[in-house]
Every structure is written in structure tokens, then in C-alpha cells.
Amino acid sequence: MHKSGSLLAACRAACKSLFWASTPSASDLDNVQEFCPQSIVSCVRNYTQTMFISPEEAVPCCQYTQSESCRKICQQAMLSDLRDEEKYDLVTSECEEAALGTDMWNCLLLLSAKSKKVQYDHGGRIDLIVDQPCQMGCSDMTYCTNFNLRPMELFQSCNPEADKGAARAVQLWSSGTITLPYYTDQFIPIKDIRTCRPEVWKAIACTLYIKPCERRAPASQICRRDCIRILTDCMDLARLQPGMSPTLFCNLLSPDDDSKPCMSLDYYLVESPYSNTFSEITTPCNPNPCPDDEICVLRHRKCKHPGDPDCKQYQCKKGLPCNCPSNYNPVCASNGQTFPNECLAKCSGYDADYEMGSCQQMAPCSGHTCGRDELCIPRRDVCLSSKLSTCRQYECVHRSGECNRHFHEPACDTSDEEFSNVCTLVQRGRVFAHWGHCMSECAAWADRVYVDYFGKCQAVGQLLNLKSGEPSCPDVQCPALPSVGEIRVLVSPSQSMEAARVSQNNQITIRDVIEVLRQHISVLECDAFGYQSIERDLVLVIAPVTRYPTALQIQACMSEAEKIGSLITSRSPLIMMHLATSSFISAGTRTSHVIISSGATRRRTPESHSIFLFVCFLVISLSETALYR
């Protein structure tokens, strides 16, 4: 690999090593500084320099362990003459209780966030989305069982570690004292929580660890009304410090008023109301079934063989092999496989057996060896043994003779007429278009476009002729208003041009954008579609893709839209890190109102009538002349 590629790989490795470690060591920081450009070095410093408070302030956190030896090691290390990084390295290496996600670790991070909040502050709140983005649903909790089976709610830390952390917290609180992590000189004396509102204390611990996401903005504090209620009932007044009261403690622990984002306990004192309908929502990637070094990606496709391992509803993906760069400059290997770049082709053993360009761009029928009475039809395949023989990319079909009427392998011609096999298509004198069925939505869905009506696309116009009162689009039959989540995104033209300039193919398409956003959809019954409006903003749609969506599935897609809209509005790195979405400025989200009752499901349209205009005139193709029928 050339020098710049080697430096990129070295920088990526150094950065990964730094953030995979329990604490960043001096050598980790030195490696990043040596191999990475200044912009990345500055970013890393911003996140590593505020990771911990001074060791003296961290001493009270040492009490968050049941191991006496670990407590002593922690206290001695924090008061020693070692470098700060070495102190934390010593504690985390000697104490299991100081591992990532435990009480001691959380105490250190909470103190750090409070003491240096300005490093993370965006509009008056601590940004917790960077490290733990909100995810749809929660399940498999063994202690925090009331958090299970909640498919429409968002959580930051629904995982076994948080579940165990909540159980440990309740066990520590049973001693009768709660030390405030933000204020080390304050503690709350409480009664025996095993007899005083135990279900509420359990809900508090589970809420603090699993971290439900408030719809309007991320929240990290319990609502004030809940705080005052539990402390009034369970505070031990005999041991209360002079001048303190439940209200004063809640001034430290909760927002000023309940109009601000906060985590409410009311929902989690009882079991989920969706226990009987939870199976309608499929979240294969939550909880994450993949190993720690892989990410889970949904596979939106149907499969005829459910038991086949290749038919999993998710796919675990690793980083690029051989430390190859992530640029896209495709090459077609001799086995018919397209590799994103030369490095990956060589990494797979094709040192010189490839051509520039994707295999789809190649003309397999050029120089074919079909007979005089045969027609060459492209049949692109990937061979596993191309080193031993030629990997043919076409099929020879007889122009005359009798076709096997019982052989079924559908093919579609350029007129969207479907034939049972390609032999029949050729002998009928038709022009081959593609293999497979001719589905009415096939081309539109392939372009990530939501089909609203059949016919020529109409992007502008009025629903009714204002003079005659007759429909101005008589050939368009608008279906019943579907329930979708709409996100309108404001895009920076200058940043879009810059992103296109540095991209490999000098363009950023809407399909590129939607493919990025699809990665953040966790419900298999929902998918993303979109187009660019005449106002030049992006209209994105998160909609159910089942034939007859249930009310719960519809509501889940609404929640997915709200989640993605929140990520865009907060300029989350999960969105801004991608070239295709780096030019997003802000987003507005609108959803339908779905009322789930014990009987029928009623649906109300949004308050704004413009959503109806949007649905009826939703562009179903990037070209106004496209026709799907």
C-alpha cells in the first residue's frame, strides 16, 4: 500500500487502541499524535482530557466497591505521586469494580462531566449521544424486568452490564446512605429501602443505568416530582445533616421544573403494556448479537429458506481486512466479484487478475462464444474457483426450438412483461431487461423511493382545481392516508458541493443519504425512503413495509423517525461522520397520531394539512417521467 494508505491505517489502529482501552495511556496518546493529522489529534484530546477529574476529587469514588483490597488500592493510587493516567491504569488493572460500566467507573465519569461540563455542553445540556446513542426497545433484562418488552421507547444503555449495575446500586443503597456523585461532601441518609418503597428504589437504579431517552432531548436526571416524593417518604430525618431537606437535595439531583427533559419513574413501576403484542416488532440487532469487534446490520429482504444460515435477518460486519482504506474505486476480479478498491482485491488474492470498474459495468457478451442460432444473455455470477477455470458471465439461449414450459426461472423484458423463463422471452422476440419477477414496486423500491400511487410522477400541483372544484390530477388515485414518519432536512448547498468534490465519484446521491440513515433503523418492519423537494430540502420517510402493518408497527416507525430526526438536529457524530450526511444542518419531524385501544385502532392525521399534500404528491422516482405500473 502506498504511504498515505499506510499512515491512514496506522492512525486508525492508534485511535482504535486508545478508545478500546479502559483508560487512555500516555503511549496511546503519543501514537495518535504521531500517525494522525492535527484535526484528529485535537478531537482525541477533547475527549481524553476531560475523561477524569483530579485524583484527589476521585477518592470518594473508591467507596463504590465491596472489595476492601480494591478500596485500599484505589485510595492509595489516587493519593500517590504517579501520573494521572498511571493512577487510573493501576486502579482499572487491579480492580474489577473499576471496569467500564461499573459503579466506580460511572462515579468517576459523572464527576468529570459535572466539573468540566463546558467541554460537552451543547445548548445547556450534557451530550450523552456520542458514546451511547438511543436505541429502540429493551429486552432480556433479568433485574430491571419492567424495562423489557417496550418496543416503542428509546434507551441509551439497555444491556446486561447496566442491568447488573442497577442491581449492585440497590445493594449498596441498602447500607442506608447514598453519596451524591456530583457533590462528594453530601450524602443522603435513607431508611431501609428493603421495606421503604423498594419498587421505587429499584426503578430509580434501573432508570439511572438503562437511561431512557426523553423524546425532546437526552435526559440524565430523574424528574423533580419523583425525587421529592421518594425522599419525603424514605429519608432518615434523624441522620439528616443540618439545613438539608428533600427539596434541597432534589435541587441538586433534578431539573428546576418538570417542563425540562427528565427521566420519569412512572412508566417503570409497572410491567410493559405491550407484553401481548411485542412480537409484532422485530429488532434483530437489539440487543446486539454480534461479537464486540463487529457491528450488526439489518438485512431487509425476504428469504424462501428460513432455516438457512444465509437467511438471518441481520449481518455482523467487521472492519476492512488488511487495513485497506475505505475509498470506493471499484475493480472487477476474474471471479466476477466487485471489490471496492484494488487493496481489497489484492487482499483476497487477486494480485493482477482484475480490471478497473465494477463488474456491472463490464460487457459479458462482448467476445462471447455462443453459437450462430443462439443469443447471448448477461448472467453475472461470482465464482469460487476462478483460479482454476474461466468464470463465465453470460448464458447462451436458443433463438428457435421448443422451450421447456415446466422450467420456471422468471425473467422480465423491457416492457415489464414477465416470462416463466428466458427461453420463452427470447423466442417471443422480446428484449431482456433483468432476471426475476416484474414487480410493480421493484424499480421504485430499488431507488429507495416510497410508492404512493401508480402512474406518472407528479411533484407539484394542487389537489383540487380551485375554479371547478374537480381534481387537477384525474388520473391519480390517492390511497388512504398512510401512517409514516416524515423528516424534512435542511441541507447546506456549499457543504454538499464540498462533500461531492472530495467523494470518489464526485457526487452524493439521495440514495447514498438514505443508505446511511437505514443503518440507524433497528425495526425490521420499517424502512427509509426519500426525495428532494422543489424547495431543495430533503423529504425523508420512515414507513412500515409490511403489507398490513399493525398499530404497534406503525407506532414503531414513528419512533424510528423521531430518533433519526433527533440525531440530525443534535448533529450527532453518528450522522455527521458520513460524507453523504455531513452537510445536514437541521431537521423537522412530523408523525401521525396512532391511538392504540383494546378494540379497534384509530388513526388521526397530523395537525398540519400539508402532510396530506406531501403524501398525495410524493415523488416516487428521481425522474418526473418515470412510470411504475
Q: How far apart are CA 399 and CA 373, in angstroms?
A: 6
Digit-coded pLDDT (tens) for 82-117: 666 667 777 777 776 555 445 666 565 554 444 333
CA dist list (Å): 199 to 158, 162, 424: 19, 17, 70
Amino acid at residue number 600: A
Q: How far apart are CA 572 and CA 134, in angstroms?
A: 11
Q: How far apart are CA 358 and CA 490, in angstroms?
A: 33
3-class secondary-structure state, position 158:
coil
Digit-coded pLDDT (tens) for 555-570: 999 999 999 998 998 8
* Domain ranges within the chain, ordered by starting residue: 135-276, 375-380+387-435, 446-616
Digit-coded pLDDT (tens) for 180-238: 544 445 678 999 999 999 999 999 999 888 888 865 544 567 888 899 999 999 999 88
CA atoms within 13 A on the CB side of 147: 33
Digit-coded pLDDT (tens) for 509-535: 787 888 899 989 999 999 999 877 655
Q: How far apart are CA 172 and CA 150, in angstroms?
A: 28
CB 377 within 8 A of CB 432: yes
Q: How far apart are CA 450 and CA 542, in angstroms?
A: 9
pLDDT, average across residues 112-137: 44
Which letter does DSSP use for residue 590 in this model? E
Beta bridge partners of residue 540, listed in sequence order: 487, 530
How many percent of the chain have pLDDT more than 70? Answer: 65
* Alpha-carbon 245 to chain mean position: 42
Q: Residue for cell digits 389537489?
A: 463
Highest-confidence range of 52-66, 188-202, 362-376, 463-477, by mean pLDDT? 188-202
Nearest CA to 65 out of 101, 102, 23 is that of 102
Nearest CA to 161 out of 211, 101, 107 is that of 101
Higher pLDDT, 127 or 278: 278
Higher pLDDT, 611 or 88: 88
**Does the N-terminal peptide bond of residue 493 adopt cis geometry, omega within 30 degrees of 0?**
no
* Grid cell digits, residue 268: 417503570
Highest-confidence range of 340-349, 357-366, 614-623, by mean pLDDT? 357-366
Digit-coded pLDDT (tens) for 317-361: 766 666 676 677 888 888 787 888 888 888 777 777 889 988 888
Q: What is the pLDDT of residue 196?
A: 95
Report long-range pairs for 611-615 (Cβ below 8 Å, ≥24 apart).
611/486, 612/463, 612/481, 613/463, 614/486, 614/539, 615/452, 615/478, 615/481, 615/482, 615/484
pLDDT, average across residues 165-185: 74
3-class secondary-structure state, position 586:
strand
pLDDT, average across residues 61-86: 75
Q: What is the pLDDT of residue 612?
A: 32
Higher pLDDT, 349 or 613: 349
Higher pLDDT, 462 or 352: 352
Q: What is the pLDDT of residue 482?
A: 63
Q: How far apart are CA 38 and CA 459, in angstroms?
A: 46
Highest-confidence range of 19-23, 98-102, 263-267, by mean pLDDT? 263-267
Q: How far apart are CA 523 and CA 430, in angstroms?
A: 41
User: DSSP states of 366-404 as a string?
Assistant: TT----TTEEEEE-----S-TTTS----EEEEESSS---
Q: What is the pLDDT of residue 322?
A: 67
Q: Residue for cell digits 409497572?
A: 270
Which letter does DSSP use for residue 163 in this model? H
Amino acid at residue number 115: S
Give pTM, 2 decimals.
0.46
What is the pLDDT confidence band of residue 240, given thresholds at 50, 70 and 90?
A: confident
| Helix ranges (DSSP H) in 174-303 | 198-210, 224-234, 246-253
Residue 152 has pLDDT above 90, yes or no: no
Task: Tell me the average pLDDT of the chain.
Answer: 73
* Grid cell digits, residue 40: 484528529
Highest-confidence range of 383-387, 602-606, 611-615, by mean pLDDT? 383-387
